[in-house]
Structure 1
Amino acid sequence: MPVSVPPHKEADDDPGGEVRLALCEAAVAGDERLRVSRLELDRPGPSYTVDTLKAIHATSPGDDLTFIVGGDMAASLPEWRQPEELLELAALGVAERGETRRREIMQRISGLRAVDERVRFFSMPRIDVSSTDIRDRVRAGRPVRYLVPDDVARLIRARGLYPTEVPIR
């Protein structure tokens, strides 16, 4: 689900919501278990997770939701909009990766209600790549194969996303 207006960061090179939607669709193409939602793109204003979860509950009231985040994001949960309501609406699946470990995360979020029941940790292999890395590689003319799905790489090329800042001669 691509975000419409991120409340906490601005990207100078943001291609826009519709392009990000197309990139997400390209990323999950061929996997029938996954689908992309326009929910946040079709709502006005900043995209806050708690509002998105409320909207999902309104359309699927019986569903048991898990919101998956990295450890770095989980550690900042107390600063999010309405974090306790967020935990009421969805369990928090926390991918342990990088430097932010389970004990540190739990120390930071321990003041929130229902943390022990609603926060679940899982391990995953560390993949040291970010969207910034991808954009920088594209700008530098370096390959992104194996870092993004082939359909995403083709779409980036076809749309001329993230051009070099200085024309190459």
Structure 2
Amino acid sequence: MNHADERFVAARPPDHDDPIVYRVTKWARGFTIIAALTLGSGWTYMTFFPPYAHGRLVFNPLMISTDVLLLAGFAYAIIWSLTARIYLYADQFEQHTPLIHRVLKLDDIAGRMYTKGSGAHYPMIVPKSGRPFSIDTAAYGLDERFNHWFLHLRDLNR
């Protein structure tokens, strides 16, 4: 175990076993599901009702294609809210979403930084190979245990 691992283990409460699991919070899950169902049903209604208002159904391939793509996006959002997880080990980070399964050992991580821009700043993990990625702290309900782990990564802003 390297020095960062020892500090992380020392900072963790003794009643927690590996791994620490973060799921999408209840409020984010509820908001995502309600928004996806509302917007998806509203857009589908607008796609099919106005052409049918005069008694005959008129198919507009562009509107139907757009509706299918939007419904696929809304379905992904619902599935993400129900299945997304972050597993945090002393020496490893795992992220599972419907389209991403990311496993990074500490040796695979170049460091940490925060997103730049207005508003909230989210933690960003920078792997040695591949693209940096940020983590939505509010959606996953990340707490001090994550902060302890994250702050032990090399700071790339310096």
Specify which structure has the higher proportion of strand: 2
TM interval, short-chain normalised: under 0.3
Larger Rg: 2
Highest RCO, 1 vs 2 (Cα 8 Å, sep ≥ 6): 2
Calculate the TM-score normalised by the size of structure 1.
Answer: 0.22
Specify which structure has the higher proportion of helix: 2
